[in-house]
A and B are shown apart, each in its own frame.
Chain A
Amino acid sequence: MADPILSVRGLETFFHGDEGIVRAVDGASFDLFPGRTLGIVGESGCGKSVTARSILRIVERPGRVENGSVLLRRADGSTVDLVKLDASSREMREVRGGEIGYVFQEPMSSLSAYHTIGNQLMEAIRLHRTVTKAEARDRAIELLRMVGIPRPEQRVDSYSFELSGGLRQRVMIALSLAAEPRILIADEPTTALDVTTQAQILELIRRIQEERNLAVVLITHDMGVIAEMADAVAVMYLGKVVETGPVDAIFHAPKHPYTQSLLRSIPSVLAQPLSRLATITGSIPHPFARPAGCPFHPRCPSFMPGTCDTGAPGLTRLAPDHEARCFLYDQPRETSA
């Protein structure tokens, strides 16, 4: 397989609040390949959005990227570690929008209500390309046409609140692709939309991906969307990537107990139609009270007392492209306690 275009290793992003430190991302590792879709999946609050924002270095205070690396391979073949760049530097700003586009989970409030769609599109285009106003406007209309907005010549002058949720999300996609980035991070792009619109937006992303050989990071908590869209999957739990693998392996031979529970909780992708709908027992721990040892151990059906609650399991390679973070596959390390 080709070299990854984006390679995240041991990423850690913490929020330093008055009540303590929230380890929002606590060791995330995954690779993204050109023309492929990586699905990041996990329950609400597991750090998916913070991971995306850490890559772009737009984590808001009091959050900070503490550790790890985000290696971006540029078009000319050189690589740059985004974590080492100054977040407000010119180089980093050129990556935002220019190399990596970002679609946010809330189409309703992700656009300014005081500026026309065209204004925001032209701004994004002119930020990364030296073109005249008229050319930028033509390109803006072209972009709107590409994402399937009817009558783009008129829509370019309308405001976001004059559009439906589905159209707004299309505008967001146009906006994130304005400077022709090679990577698109779509953070729950369809969560706020109805089912039909969801399918259309996913179809649009897939079409553009083919046209432009885009690498897509698709963040979702919907296993159904993953099954439909992703080539590879990274499963996150409490800030950690607990399993990564090709989509087939994840669905048909999940290794991590958390992945298995996630799959069991959705009936549609389950092979046995008559089985009872299982939910994951227990609830997500409070951000300040992360369990010691393996963070999943209070809810894990395969919990091994004395092992899982004392040390943290490392990532174990199960196949060339399949890894899991669990003591079922890892040798417990010596702990000082």
Chain B
Amino acid sequence: MVTYILQRLGLALVTIWAISVVSFVIIQLPPGDFVDTYITNLAASGSAVRAEEAQALREQYGLDKPIWVQYWKWISRVATGDFGMSMEWGRPVIEVIGDRLWLTIVISFAAILITWGIALPIGIYSAVRQYSVADYIFTFVGFVGLAVPNFLLALIIMYFGFKLFDLNIGGLFSAEYQIAPWSAGKVWDMMKHLPLPAMILALAGTAQLIRIMRANLLDELRRPYVTTARARGLPEWRVILKYPVRAALNPFASTIGYLLPFVVSGSIVVSLVLSLPTVGPLLLRSLVAQDMFLAGTIVLLLGILTVIGTFLSDLILMWIDPRIRSGMHG
């Protein structure tokens, strides 16, 4: 068991290293070194950079040294929490990202929970009542849900929310809390704003998840252990919830880790439409503006969070799947 966890931990570290290399490459992508980009950017906004300052920056990042020295200098700074300057914003990257990373996590998790809350019961129902009218309706609605782009849905809901209820759905905070420091009031304000955007984001994955759950369960319902559970005299709903549903849910534990980047990349446009303070729109903008320290940092942080998520889902899987646990004893 300990060797298994250590093994997973080792794998996680190697993956984080690989992600850091990718992030570094992203930062290096634009032609010339990034100090050139920095100078061009500043020049474009009217302020010039003094030659000494440029030289100091170059030395700080070892830009005249071999590439692996540059990587080492960069990663050492990152390890101390210094992610460099955002060229577009003229402020440290970490300040620009600010709360957005945590808000992204909060809203993604809310969206995932809603997705599961809707999709799993419907998937179970559709499988148990395969080819029933309700199954066909859910399948049809699911296809429509897959076909309608989410941002369109977001726009429609915003429009009707505004028209009918005079609601402003955009954003995660009311005006007075927008730039206020964190407080109980601000958290409560966020909780009030959270459900709708989370719901809209959730609908993206729902149709797909219904189909996966339905297929998983249909597979399990055919297994002999279901027949033998029935033959023991269990009521039908207990047979289904205790045995095949349990088995059909198992694979989901292993997907928890991958959900974060999936939700973030899938939600960029919706986040723009709903003006949500998440990292998605920021990443898009930094890439357009070639603000490479910002882009590289976002990729790095999302990557690390994903690796942590994957590691956690490995632990969860180990905890809930007796076959994996037992494989580790012997």
Q: Which residues in A have some Cβ–Cβ distance to B below 8 Å? A: 53, 56, 58, 60, 88, 93-98, 101-102, 104, 106, 109-116, 123-124, 127-128, 159, 161-162, 172, 175-176, 178-179
Assess the A94–B247 pair: CB atoms within 8 A.
no
State A106–B222 Cα separation when bound (angstroms): 13
Q: Is B265 an interface residue (CB 8 A)?
A: no
* Contact indicator A110/B224 (Cβ below 8 Å): yes
From DSSP, what is the main secondary structure of chain B's interface residues? helix
The verdict on A159 contacting B234 (CB below 8 Å), with A109-B223, A112-B246, A175-B228 known, is no
Q: Which residue of the partner chain B has the closest CB to A49?
A: B227
Cβ A93 vs Cβ B228 within 8 A: no
Q: Which residues of A contact B321 (CB under 8 A)?
A: 114
A112 and B225 contact, Cβ closer than 8 Å, known pairs A58-B231, A94-B233, A127-B232: yes
List the B side residues contacting A128 at CB < 8 Å: 233
A110 to B232, CA, bound (A): 12
CB-contact partner of A172 in B228, B250, B322, under 8 A: B228
Give the CA-CA distance A58 to B234 in the complex, in Å. 11
Partner of B231, one of A97, A106, A112, A114: A97
Which residues in B have some Cβ–Cβ distance to A below 8 Å? 223-225, 227-236, 242-243, 246-247, 250, 321-323, 326
Contacting residue for A159 out of B233, B242, B246, B323, CB 8 A: B323
Report whether A111 and B323 are in contact in the complex, using a CB–CB cutoff of 8 Å.
no
B231 touches A102 (CB 8 A): yes
Q: Given A60, A109, A116, A124, which contacts B232 in the complex, CB threshold below 8 Å?
A: A124
17 more A-B residue pairs beyond the given contacts A96-B233, A111-B225, A175-B232, with a C-beta to C-beta distance below 8 A: A88-B235, A93-B235, A97-B233, A98-B233, A109-B224, A112-B229, A113-B247, A113-B323, A114-B321, A115-B243, A123-B234, A124-B232, A127-B232, A161-B323, A161-B326, A176-B232, A179-B232
* Min CB gap A76→B, angstroms: 19
Query: Would you give the shortest CB distance from A79 to chain B, in whole angstroms?
Result: 20
8 smallest A-B Cβ distances: which pairs?
A97-B233, A96-B233, A102-B231, A97-B232, A93-B233, A110-B224, A110-B228, A58-B230
Distance of A195 Cα from B223 Cα, bound (Å): 25
| Least distance between B285 CB and chain A CB atoms (Å) | 46
* CB neighbours of B227 from chain A (8 A): 53, 58, 60, 104, 110
Determine whether the beta carbon of B322 is less than 8 Å from that of A114.
Answer: yes
Contacts of A97 in B (CB 8 A): 231-233
Q: Which residues of B contact A113 (CB under 8 A)?
A: 247, 322-323
A110 to B217, CA, bound (A): 16
Q: Considering the chains assembled together, what is the distance between the CA atoms of A113 and B223 in angstroms?
A: 12
Are A162 and B326 neighbours in the complex by a CB distance under 8 Å? yes
Complexed CA–CA distance, A112 and B321 (Å): 12
Query: For residue B320, which residue of chain A has the nearest CB?
Result: A114
A101 to B230, CA, bound (A): 11
- With CB as the reference atom, state the residue of chain B lying closest to A119: B242
The residue of chain A having its C-beta at the shortest distance from the C-beta of B327 within the complex is: A161
A88: chain B residues at CB < 8 Å are 235-236
